[in-house]
Structure 1
Amino acid sequence: MAKPMQGQPGSSGHIHVSLTDLAGKNLFARDTPDPNTPWPDAAHLSDLGRHFLAGILEALPDIMPLFAPTINSYKRLVENFWAPVNISWGLEDRMASVRIITPPVCKPGATRFEVRIPGADLHPHYALSVILAAGWRGVEKKLSISVPPVETMKKENITPGLLPNTLEEALKRFHAPGSVAREILDNEFVDFFTATREHELRLWREAVTDWEFKRYIETV
């Protein structure tokens, strides 16, 4: 369960990901830092690593149901509880949606991305699969990182794009024609998974919760 207790941080299911070649060399790592990168946070990322990160960031709003598949998931993804709520990344940034870990905070061989959106209620195979598919789409399309890192956004007063904050909103993005989810996943899977989540929403709307009973039984 992603948010078992009100007023307390939720339970996460963060996923760390890196790619290596057949010899075991980390493909996200750069041999020497890039002096020409627009953001120091990405100086130690290889070109492939940057494309992969760009692919993840571009896909995030459209693949949320695979990271946060339940009603309760979105009660964890709120501000002030160390959970990401926007499209963001940064070096060793534990508030961002994607934390990058590169030198100087680790050895080059340990370079990786931590996708911090998933909660404890995720399906791990779905979540990991969609991260790899989204990142590889970025590599194939040679996408550039279009979102500055968190520290740059703070300094330049840039407002990051928000992630869907309810299951209903997330499903609209996931299921929409032309969504990144439809591009990188099978259409039949997108339709089927959407149907299962819409069933969950119907059950939620029909439920009478303890909160409603306590709040309204004697007052309205």
Structure 2
Amino acid sequence: MTATGVPDVHAPDVHELTDRLAREGVVGVTIGWVDNNGIVRSRTVPTAELPAAARRGVGVTAVFAVFDSHDVITFAHEGLATPSGDVRLVPVVDRADSVVPLAGQPGLAWVHGRQLDADGDPWPYCQRSVLERQVDAAAEAGFAVRAGFEVEMVVVREGEDFTPAHHGPAYGPNALREVDEFTRRLLRDLAADGIAIGQLHAEYGESQVELALSALDPLAMADTQVLVRQTVQSAARAEGLRVSFAPVTTAAGAGNGWHLHTSLVREGRNALTGDGPHGLSDVGRGYLAGLLRELPGIVAVTAPSAGSLLRRRPGYWAGAYGFWGVENREAALRLVPASRLLGPEHTNVELKASDASANPYLSLAVVIGAGLAGVRDGAELPDPVQEDVGAWDDARRDAAGIVALATTHEEQRAHLLGSALVRDVLGADLLGAFVACRDSDAAWAAEHTVEEVVASHRWLY
């Protein structure tokens, strides 16, 4: 079914798909979506009910759009100010591999969901539809988009004391040797679930592991990012481990980023690559300039939680300041250029201020929207900064026009509401619900210590 509720003539026969799943021993299909806090929500139907779910959806309450991170329903958004209302959660069965039997959860399969109103028409709070609109806008401008996530996680022993599963050294094989069984199971399960990765390694933070997802089109990448969570958590559970993707897992720790890489493609070639400064084309300069211009509003969507704000510190490669650099990992926007070894198709832009508390569909949507606007406007790109600006004094940063990105709810809220680009991409209704969720989270955090805030988010992602 398409975003407008019209049947897709290219979709697989759902009855044949259901029969195949049943023959493979699948007894239930979980339909998942991601809310405005980056939390995955779901409904599970018996396999035999998949055709009915694909035809008319599964009923869910409209107020999921205003659940906050603590499962409190906030009625502060006028459009969803009562407990009344129902929407239809419809599995997106548009390809033969849309429904994935889960290697780590035998007998269960996963499919991503779209939210429609009770009549089957588009619902303004459906996050997936927001990304679909931006993909269509890119196509109208003559571009396809490629996207990838780097997924950081902290792996601990099962239990209440948050015991590290490995003890480093960072990036070392000895660290992963402590979690060999988990690594082997995870690689097998990722492959079985159809998830392609480029690499996996022990990261810098305590007991941290990172895997890099291979680039895909935006919708496929957002879907894959969600499926990765299920696959990783199941593999960890099978080995007596537990994984946290949260932006911060301890008050003093490095925290987890889910760095977002994007590029534009035109006529089959990377449109960011060119013969201009730093190997950029005019399109590449406009795309990067558009992201830089809208950065405060973008990161309010891509790293929106109380944990995100705690993580946004200089020296942690978390994108604390609003500037760009060429291969500068302290920059909020890092240009990864082409090279003779990597080839001209490699050019991409990495957004550092991105984490698991963001909805991946909304994150990709605002990034694409800002980049396309920069290309359309011919936005001017300033010179890159190749230093750690956190080591500069205020006067030097002021002279360079470099400002810190938001570290308080009030600042981030102002950036959300002050960005015409974010409002245009999300739509007024969804933006209103998103801000209401952030306000509710901030009100909870204001009454708790930093340690309590960190602990409350630790197992949400």
TM-score band by shorter chain is 0.7 to 0.9
After superposition, the Cα gap between the structure-2 partners of 1:210 and 1:53, relative to the gap in structure 1 and judged at 3 Å, is closer
Establish whether residue 57 from structure 1 lines up as the match of residue 312 from structure 2: no
The 1:125/1:211 distance shift into structure 2, 3 A limit, reads closer
By how many angstroms is 1:209 displaced?
6.8
Task: Determine if contact 2:337/2:347 at 8 Å carries over to the other structure.
Answer: yes
Q: Structure 2 CA distance, aligned partners of 1:210 and 1:192? A: 27
Are 1:15 and 2:251 an aligned pair?
A: no
The 3 A distance-change label for structure 1 pair 107 and 136 is same
Q: Secondary structure of 2:325's match?
A: strand
- Aligned counterparts of 2:322 and 2:436: Cα–Cα separation in 1: 26
Corresponding residue for 2:152? none
Structure richer in strand, relative to its length? 2
Aligned to 1:216: none
Q: Which has the larger radius of gyration?
A: 2
Please show how residues 1-220 of structure 1 align to structure 2 within 5 Å: 1-21=246-266, 23-30=267-274, 33-34=275-276, 42-104=277-339, 106-145=342-381, 147-151=382-386, 157=396, 158=400, 160-176=402-418, 179-207=420-448
SS of residue paired to 1:20: strand
1:99-147 residue CA offsets vs partner (Å, 9 max, x unmatched)? 11113373211111111111232211111111000101111111111x3
Q: Distance in 1 between matches of 2:293 and 2:424?
A: 12
* SS of corresponding position for 2:261: strand
Provide the C-alpha distance between the structure 1 equivalents of 2:325 and 2:449, rounded to a whole number of angstroms.
41
Q: How many equivalent residue pairs? A: 199
1:27 partner amino acid: A
1:72/1:46 CA distance change after superposition, 3 Å: same
- Secondary structure, counterpart of 1:19 in structure 2: strand
CA RMSD of aligned residues (A): 2.4
Deviation at 1:25, TM superposition (A): 0.7
Output the CA distance in 2 between the equivalents of 1:210 and 1:87: 27
- Partner amino acid, structure 2, of 1:56: L
Partner AA of 2:407 in structure 1: N
Q: Deviations over 1:7-65 (max 9, x none)?
A: 221100100101112x42111111xx33xxxxxxx431110111011110010112322
**Kindly, what percent of the aligned residue pairs are identical?**
27
Gaps of 5+ in 1: 35-41, 213-220
Structure of higher RCO (CA pairs closer than 8 Å, 6+ residues apart): 1
Q: Distance in 1 between matches of 2:450 and 2:344?
A: 50
Conserved 8 A contact 1:153-1:160: no
Residue 195 (structure 1) shift: 1.1
CA distance in 1, matches of 2:322, 2:371: 15
Distance in 2 (alpha carbons) for counterparts of 1:69 and 1:150: 25
> What is the deviation of 1:168?
2.6
Deviation at 1:205, TM superposition (A): 2.5
Q: Which residue number corresponds to residue 243 of structure 2? A: none
Distance in 2, Cα, partners of 1:143 & 1:129: 19
Alpha carbons 2:317, 2:352 under 8 Å: kept = no
- Contact 1:68-1:167 within 8 A present in 2 as well: no
Contact 1:65 1:167 in 2 (8 A): no
Assess if the C-alpha contact under 8 Å between 1:3 and 1:75 holds in 2.
Answer: yes
Contact persistence 2:300–2:415 (CA under 8 A): no
Unaligned stretches of 5+ residues in structure 2: 1-245, 454-461
- Which structure 1 residue ranges, 4+ long, deviate > 3 Å from structure 2? 152-155, 206-212
Change (3 A) 1:207 1:153: closer
Report the Cα distance in structure 1 between the residues aligned to 2:449 and 2:329, rounded to whole angstroms: 36
Q: What TM-score comes out, normalization by structure 1 length?
A: 0.81
Contact 1:79/1:85 (<8 A) preserved: yes
How far apart are residue 84 of structure 1 and its match? 1.3
